[in-house]
Structures are given as structure tokens and as C-alpha cells.
Amino acid sequence: MYKYLLCTRYLRTRYIALTCIVSVTLGVATMIVVNSVMSGFSSQMKERIRGILADVVLETGSADGEQDPDRIMARIRHAAGEHIEAMSPTVEVYGMLSFRSFGQYITKPVTIIGIEPESKAKMGTLTDHLYNFMPQRDEEGNRIGPPRYVANVPASFDLHPDDQEYRTAQKESEMRMREHSRMMNELEPVESPVDNAGAMDASELFAGSELIGADDEMFDEEPEDLTSPLEGRVYIGSELVTYKYEDQATGKIKTLPMVRVGDDVQLSTVGSGRPPQAIHFDATVVDYFKCGMSEYDNSLVFCNLDYLQKQRVMIDPQTGLTSVTSVQIKLKESADPAVVVGLLRGEFEPGRFAVHTWEQKQGPLLAAVEVESAILNVLLFLIIAVAGFGILAIFFMIVVEKTRDIGILKSLGASSSGVMSIFLAYGFGLGIVGSGAGVGMGLLIVWKINWIEEQITWLTGKEVFDERIYYFPEIPTNIEPWMVFWVAVGAIAIAVLSSILPARRASRLHPVASLRYE
């Protein structure tokens, strides 16, 4: 029992060991916090990417697509039907988005994706990212009401009644302004009150002026019912048509919409066939789309599939068969994506078709996150390694200081292994205490991390976690129990390993030499 007695006594009375304990504690806590935050970012990002894409995607090698999506999906079921839960045909093509805001036309590059809302919603979390299915919030992000649609309402390209009222009011206002302009143009030239020698008609009077909400082609023939949504309808990425700015009075971030739901936008892309021809068409915005990934919120426009196929001439006039560029596949929970990919690659011709999982399509992005996490873990583990060197130095000092005591112990019958076990148990005790305190501190920080962020922001006056940069309303965290376990075990192992050399030196001291040394 003398080994454990001396070990616990050193832990209680040797305050220099507190430096080692603090080092281990800080190292363990830091690793747990960083890993939890990185895991939270990674899991949130993967969840959002997977919700936008699908478990497996079958793509054609040409932007013209492949005819007869029903036949393609029948081949998919034949190859891997027992693993598949649902499928959704899509058309994906690059294009340009144009709309009028602040008195000028704004044009942005986008990816136009033609979808069937009901089948697309089965692929992932489409409805979770549509504003009509999100809780209503004010400009500051505070919840002010429930979602417009409940979760069990199927996704569609129908315009919400509230947005239809806005569109009706806007279109009626535009029609009144256009009628007023026509009437002004029909007026006879009148004599100028300033210069009787010159005359100015209504067209000259209004030359260069801009009518709010009126297009350049305002005098062209329009459809009879302007208040109804157009045949083309889109979900549009929120970052494409909103502008974020900082309110100078309050210092808070506010969002200014440049295009409202119910307004019309113009899309430009290329049609199918050779050579590809440029096509332009108008579409009504029926909802905003926001998944929190800037790569998607700033580039994606979801359009109704049948209309996009019609505009791109992807419908065979003789057979009536449509074409698609990809088929998104939702797998069953028990299915292995790698197995399904192998089955589909064996079924479809390589070069003409490509099969990928959602992780493979976003491979570079996910790999970058994994590499960053690994590098951070290595750097942070060095903190614990520094604590290990501190234990090594302190134990050597204790061996030198307690040379006479070690000699007395050995002269009384203590074995070399017994003396060695004193120091190993001492190192183990330091590791246990330090890692235990580090685990507690790390979990507490992770639990209160958003509160801590708020306090630091208030204290420094500078926002630590800016939503404009990270696209998360708060810091995401994900605590993995095995990660916590291995970090604690690693810290204990370093503490024990650092005590081996001093313990061996103490065990090799000869009793007579030790007493003569004193």
C-alpha cells in the first residue's frame, strides 16, 4: 500500500503538479470544443448538401439529356430496385437570371434545375428549405408566426394566396400606369408656355423617365390576365435576390429583398439540339429557397420541369417523349450506396451515363473539411504533448529531490518495480485528474458556446460568429462520445508515457549510493 499512499500524498501536496494538470485540462477541453464545433459544421453541411442532392445521382453525358425518363427509371429499378425508395427526374442546365431592381437590370449566373416538386421532396429536405414551410420571422430573425404551410402539405409551384394578392395589386398598378402612358401619348402636341416657338408633345415630356414596375416592352401586347402567375414558375435562391446590409443605427444585419415572391424574373439558357440556341423566358417567383449553403443559395433556381423541357425543346414532337439530364435516387435506410453505384454502373453505358453518390459529387469540399479537421487535431494535440513534457521535467526534479527517500525505501525492502510504480501511478493520477477536468470543462463550453459567443460579442463590440459569413443562425455543435473517450484516453496515455523515464531512473537507484549522495 505504500505505493498508493505516496502517490496520493504527492497529488495532494505537490502543487507544482497543478501546472501539469492545468495543461492537460486545457488541452483536453480545447480538443473537445474544437472537434464538437467542427463536427457540427460538417454534419450540418452534409445534411444540407444531401437534402439538396440525393443519395445517388444518375447523370447523362450531354446537356441535351436522354429521352424517355420512364424507361431510364425502369432500368434503374431492374438493376437495383430492392435498394431504392424513390426517384425524381430532373433537368439541370447553366443559365442567367435577370431582374430589375433599384432602377437597373441585374444579371447573375445560375444553375437552373427543372424538378417535379412532389418527387423531389421525397429525395431530401426540399420543403424544409422553402420559406413557406419555415416559421415566419421578422428582419431581425425573431419568430413572429407559424409556417404558411404545414409539414404534410405537398410541395408545389402554386402561388400562396397572400403572394397572389401582392401580385394582383402590383399588376393592376402597372396596368393603370401603362394605360395612363398610352393616354398621354395620344394627346395632341401642346404649345410650350415657356417658348411659344417650340412645341413639346407627351412622348417628349416623358422621355427618359422611368415608370416603377414597368418593363421596357411596356407597350407590347400583353396576355389578357396579367394577375395570374406565368406558366414558368421558380423557387429562387434567397441570396440571389436579397441584399444584406448593416443598419447604422442599430448595428444589426437586415435583409432587403430585390425581388419579392409573386414578381416575375427572366431566365436565359441554351436549348437542346445542334447548334444550341439561346433561349429566354419569363417565370414567376413562387417561393424563396434557403438551405444555408452559400454555394446553393447564391446559384440555384428550381423551375417546373415540364415548362423547362418545353422551353429547351426537350419534347419530341412526334412521340411526345420528354428528355431529362439526371435522375436523383433516394435509397432505403438499409441500402449501401457503394453497392447501388456498382449495380447502376454495370447497367448503364459508361461515357453516356455517370453514377455518383452525393458525397462523390461534393468530394473536394468534404475532403477539404476533413483535412482541416485533421490538421487542427494534430496542432491541438501538441498542447497535451507540451503537458507531457512538463510532467517529464517535473518528475525528473522529484527523482533528484527525493533521492535520499528512494534510498531509504529500497533499504527497507521496496523493490525496483515498486518504486517505479509510484511514479507511474503518479503520472496516471495526473492524467486522470487533468483529463476528467478537461472533459467537464469542454462539455460545459460546448453546451454554453452560443451564450459565450454572445458575451464575447458584447464585451468586444465585434461579432464573433457572423451569419453573413457562416450562414448559420448559431454555432452548430455535435458531441461524439467516442471522440471524447479517445481524447481523454490519449491525454492519460501521454501522462503515463511521460512518467516512464523518470520512473525507470528512480527504480535503478542503489540504496547505498542514494544515501551516500545525501
Quickly list DSSP for 468-502: HHH--SS------HHHHHHHHHHHHHHHHHHTHHH
For residues 90 and 237, give the distance between their C-alpha atoms in angstroms, rounded to a whole number.
17
Does 355 score more than 60 pLDDT?
yes
Give me the residue spans of the domains in the chain.
Answer: 2-47+364-517, 54-159+229-361, 163-227
CA distances from 27 to 114, 344, 369 (A): 50, 47, 22
For residues 58 and 357, give the distance between their C-alpha atoms in angstroms, rounded to a whole number.
9
Least confident residue range of 21-30, 133-142, 197-206, 252-261:
197-206
Q: 384: closest CA among 438, 345, 421, 339?
A: 438
For residues 255 and 246, give the distance between their C-alpha atoms in angstroms, rounded to a whole number.
9
For residues 472 and 325, give the distance between their C-alpha atoms in angstroms, rounded to a whole number.
32
- The residue-averaged pLDDT of 51-67 equals 85
Give every CB contact of residue 323 below 8 A, 6+ residues apart in sequence: 64, 65, 66, 67, 68, 69, 91, 272, 309, 314, 315, 316
Give every CB contact of residue 449 below 8 A, 6+ residues apart in sequence: 33, 37, 475, 477
Highest-pLDDT range among 203-207, 217-221, 298-302, 377-381: 298-302
Residue that is written with C-alpha cell 420541369 in the block: 305
For residues 294 and 465, give the distance between their C-alpha atoms in angstroms, rounded to a whole number.
16
Least confident residue range of 27-36, 199-208, 291-300, 407-416:
199-208
Does 212 score more than 60 pLDDT?
no
Highest-pLDDT range among 157-171, 213-227, 247-261, 382-396: 157-171
For residues 181 and 125, give the distance between their C-alpha atoms in angstroms, rounded to a whole number.
47
Q: What is the pLDDT of residue 199?
A: 41
- The residue-averaged pLDDT of 2-21 equals 62
Q: Tell which wins on pLDDT, 151 or 159.
A: 159
DSSP designation for 91 = E
Quickly list H helices, 98-147. Answer: 117-121
pTM: 0.71
Percent of the chain with pLDDT over 90: 12
- The residue-averaged pLDDT of 238-252 equals 75
Q: What is the pLDDT of residue 141?
A: 60
| Beta carbons of 326 and 72 less than 8 angstroms apart | no
- The residue-averaged pLDDT of 369-391 equals 78
CA terminus-to-terminus distance, the chain: 26
Three-state DSSP class for residue 60 = strand
Residue that is written with C-alpha cell 520512473 in the block: 503
Please tell me the chain's helix, strand, coil percentages from 3-state DSSP, rounded to the nearest 5.
Answer: 50, 20, 30
Q: Tell which wins on pLDDT, 161 or 189.
A: 161
Residue that is written with C-alpha cell 419569363 in the block: 282
pLDDT digit string (tens) for 68-124? 889 999 999 988 888 898 899 999 999 999 998 877 888 999 999 999 988 888 887
